[in-house]
Structure 1
C-alpha cells in the first residue's frame, strides 16, 4: 500500500466511495426495474431466484482475492486495471436461449492502452473468486450478452434506447481504484474488526437522476447496470464507511474536500459508457459490441 495504515485518518475517502443514500437508490432501482426481468429469466430457464449480491466468505478472503488478481499475471508489473464482466453461467455450461443462469461477475486483470485481458479469469464460487477455464468464462459471458443483456434493453434511458445503445457488458477498475479498495478493507479490518465482518458486491443500477458527491464532477449515466461494494457487519447487514465510525468519517470527509479530490464516480469507466462501444474497445470475451 502507498501509505502506512496508522496515517489513514488523514487520508481522503477512497475513490470508490459512493454515499449510502446513493448506493441504496441504485440498489433499489436495480430491484425495481432490472431484477424482475432477470429473475423471471433465471426461474424459467434454470430454476431458483436471481442473484442480488455476491458476498465473500469474510473480509480477509476479499483482500486476498483483490491482491492476487493484481499479481497473478504474466505481466504483473504492467497491469493497469481490472475488468469485471457481467455473466450468467448455465448449469450445464452451454450457451443457448434456454440456458441462462444466475447473474454473476468474472474478473480479469487488464493491461495496455486498450485494457486487454491478461492472466487468469476468476469466477465466483462458494464465497470467493477462483480461477476458472477461459472457455467456461467465455460461455458464461456470452449467455449474459446474448440473452439477459438483450432483455434489459427496455430498462435503459430514452436516449440509449433511441441511439440503440445496449446494456452494460463489463466494468473497468483502474489500478488506483483496486489498490484503494484493498487499503480500505485492510484498515477497516485492523481498526474496526469489532464492527466489520465481511465484504460484498451488490448488483445495482444508475437511477434516472444525476449524482454528485461534494465537489466531484456530476455523474450523468442513467439507468445502466453497475455494481457497488459494501462492508458487512456482524449482524450480516450492509454497513457503510460513514456508519462504521461517524467521527472518523467526518475527519476523512474534511480531508477529501480540502484536497478537491475527485471521488464518487465509482465504476463509470466500463462499457458501454458514452460514447457507445465500438469494435475498437471490444474485450476478449465479448460476443458483440
Structure 2
C-alpha cells in the first residue's frame, strides 16, 4: 500500500482554505468581473470527467524530461473581447506551462482551460490572459493579503509551481482512484482557494509558511458526479492505513499543492515569467 501523495492536504485545511477564499477574495473578484463581463466570477474549473483529467496530467508528465523540470500554473483573466487595456479583465482561470531545468524557465508550451479540459494555447494569447490578471485582479487583491505582505508591499500570487514528483504522484493517485470498482470517482476539479491566517502543519510545520499566509492558491479535488470528495471519502479504511504509513514514513515533503509565487517572483511585471527567480 502506498502512502498519501505529496500534494495531499487534510480535509480540515482544505475546507478552511476554501472558506477563506470565498469570504475574503471571491467578493472582491466577483465585483469587478460582474461589472466588466456581466457574469459571476469563477471559483472552480472542472474536467469533463476523470479520464480527461488523467490524459491531461499524462501530457504534462510526458513533457517533463529531467528531475528539475516542472509545471508552472499561471492565474489568468481573459477579457471576452480579447483586449489588453488598463483595467480590463475577465473570468478567473488558469494556464499551465512547462518549465525546464533548475532555473524553472518556461519552454513556451502553454495550455488553457476550454470548459472541459486544457488545450494548447499560443504564447501570445497566454501572454494577454496573464497580463489581464496580473495588471488588474492581482492588484485589487493586495488588500486581502497578510499584514506582513502589505507592509513589505509584497503582491498577490502570480503563479504556482509543481515539481515532477508532485505531478507524478498526483497522476498516480488519479489513476489509482479511478480504477477502483464501483465507479465512485467520476470527475476531477481544480478549486480556487487561499492560504489562511494560520500556518499549515501536516505532519510537521510547512517551510516558508509565513510567506504563504492568505495568498491565492489552488486545490485539486476528486468528484463523484457533481460533488467534491476527498481521498478520505472514497475509502475510509484504506485512507487510515495510508495515513499511518505516511506519518511513519515521513521524509520531508511539504504535503501541499505547489510552491506559490511570489515570493520569490515578486516583480510587478504583468507578463509571462521566463524564470522563477
- Tell me if TM exceeds 0.5: yes
Q: Which residue of 2 aligns with 1:130?
A: 119
* In structure 2, distance between residues paired with 1:124 and 1:142: 16
Q: Which residue of 2 aligns with 1:6?
A: none
* In structure 2, distance between residues paired with 1:53 and 1:263: 26
Q: Which residue of 2 aligns with 1:239?
A: 229
* In structure 2, distance between residues paired with 1:97 and 1:154: 20
| Corresponding position: 1:38 with 2:22 | no
* In structure 2, distance between residues paired with 1:253 and 1:216: 17
Q: 2:129 aligns with which of 106, 128, 140?
A: 140
Q: Which residue of 2 aligns with 1:15?
A: 6
Gaps of 5+ in 2: none
* In structure 2, distance between residues paired with 1:230 and 1:283: 29
What's the CA shift for 1:194?
Answer: 2.0
Cα pair distance change 1:161/1:277, threshold 3 Å: same
Q: 1:96 aligns with which of 67, 70, 85?
A: 85
Normalized against structure 1, the TM-score is what? 0.88
What's the CA shift for 1:224?
Answer: 0.2
Moved over 4 A (4+): none
Greater Cα shift, 261-270 or 13-22: 261-270
Query: Contact (CA 8 Å) 1:217, 1:262: kept in 2 or not?
Result: no
* In structure 2, distance between residues paired with 1:192 and 1:99: 47
What's the CA shift for 1:142?
Answer: 0.2
Q: Secondary structure at the match of 2:260?
A: coil
Q: Which residue of 2 aligns with 1:253?
A: 243
* In structure 2, distance between residues paired with 1:163 and 1:85: 23
Q: Secondary structure at the match of 1:43?
A: helix
Aligned length: 272
Instruction: Show the 5 A alignment for 1:76-115.
Output: 76-78=64-66, 80-115=69-104
What's the CA shift for 1:160?
Answer: 0.2
Q: 2:262 aligns with which of 245, 252, 272?
A: 272
Q: Secondary structure at the match of 1:24?
A: helix
Q: Which residue of 1 aligns with 2:50?
A: 59
* In structure 2, distance between residues paired with 1:14 and 1:241: 10
Q: Which residue of 1 aligns with 2:41?
A: 50
Q: Which residue of 2 aligns with 1:24?
A: 15
Cα pair distance change 1:102/1:89, threshold 3 Å: same
What's the CA shift for 1:77?
Answer: 2.2
* In structure 2, distance between residues paired with 1:268 and 1:123: 18
Query: Contact (CA 8 Å) 1:83, 1:173: kept in 2 or not?
Result: yes
* In structure 2, distance between residues paired with 1:261 and 1:40: 43
What's the CA shift for 1:54?
Answer: 0.3
Normalized against structure 2, the TM-score is what? 0.92
Cα pair distance change 1:283/1:139, threshold 3 Å: closer
Q: 1:70 aligns with which of 43, 57, 61?
A: 61
* In structure 2, distance between residues paired with 1:70 and 1:12: 20
Query: Contact (CA 8 Å) 1:213, 1:263: kept in 2 or not?
Result: no
What's the CA shift for 1:92?
Answer: 1.7
Query: Contact (CA 8 Å) 1:14, 1:263: kept in 2 or not?
Result: no
What's the CA shift for 1:53?
Answer: 0.4
Gaps of 5+ in 1: 1-9
Q: Secondary structure at the match of 2:81?
A: coil
Query: Contact (CA 8 Å) 1:91, 1:99: kept in 2 or not?
Result: no
